[in-house]
Amino acid sequence: MSVKSWSEKAVILKGPAGALDVRLGQHEVSTPSLGEKSGLIMCHPHPLYLGTMDNKVVTTLVRGASRLEIGNEQSLDTIRFNFRGVGESEGEHDQGRGEQDDLAAVVDYAMTELGWQSIYLAGFSFGAGVACLYASNHQKKHPEKIAGLFLIAPAVHHFEAPATLPFEFESHVYMGDADEVVPFDEVEHWVDLLTPQPHFHIFEGASHFFHGRLIDLKKTFLDDLAELTHR
């Protein structure tokens, strides 16, 4: 397979609360791949605080992931989407409960319609909470779905953070120790008590939105993602 350009297109999915507004990033290829298809799904920050799939942290990490080569000239496809009640997505904000169902619909679409066999799941702030809860709750029923979990500034004060994470895949947590939105001490305490222990990446002096440190965040995230995709 020869990988060419990557581009995003708008897709409307049927979600549990109505239409879901999705951006599907795919690579143009000259010949189809016979290998395993995989991709990254990225969840956005809190809808009630202007969080959307166009958030800079979200788009930066999605674009970075699209450039990764994962062996045999393959690259990761990507999905970012708006939770219910955001942008063109229908429905109303549901405090992270219904948003897990939104994510479930996107994961099912990636596996059944796109043929993804491995999904790398990421989220920023509120989106990290949704991704974490989805991975913890749904992994028990469908252990084949998620191949890696990446939580950027997880808003542990906004969701019932679990005491355990799935053992089937590795998890990563990324935090700035100067986060002005999500209390760093609360995240650090949560990570310390988690079983199994996730990889904990601390960015000294970084704020919630990683102003001035976004390149550092992207590099660390892509290094971790590349390590998993090459196994």
- pTM here is 0.94
Distance CA(170)–CA(166), nearest Å, equals: 8
Q: How many CA atoms lie within 13 A of 157 on its CB side?
A: 10
What percent of the residues of the chain are helix, what percent strand, and what percent coil, each to the nearest 5? 30, 30, 40
Per-residue pLDDT tens over the stretch 87-114: 999 999 999 999 999 999 999 999 999 9
Q: Which of 192, 132, 194 is nearest to 163 (CA)?
A: 194
Distance CA(146)–CA(139), nearest Å, equals: 7
Span 124-141, average pLDDT: 89
DSSP letters for 133-180? HHHHHHTTT-TTSEEEEEEES--TTSS---SB--SSSEEEEEEETT-S
**Within 10 A of 85 (CB to CB), how many other CB atoms are there?**
18
pLDDT of 34: 57
Distance CA(49)–CA(89), nearest Å, equals: 16
On the question of pLDDT at 2 being above 50, the answer is no
Domain 3-229 part of CATH 3.40.47.10: no
Residues 32-41 as b/e (b if ≥16 CB within 10 A, e otherwise) read: eeeeeebbbb
**Domain ranges (residues) in the chain:** 3-229
pLDDT of 74: 73
Distance CA(105)–CA(51), nearest Å, equals: 20
Question: CB of 32 within 8 A of CB of 1?
Answer: yes
130 residue type, one letter:
V
On the question of pLDDT at 1 being above 50, the answer is no
Angle between helix 126-138 and helix 97-112 axes, rounded to 10 deg: 70
Q: Which of 122, 73, 78, 140 is nearest to 224 (CA)?
A: 122
Per-residue pLDDT tens over the stretch 177-202: 999 999 999 999 999 999 999 999 99
Per-residue pLDDT tens over the stretch 39-65: 999 999 999 999 999 999 999 999 999
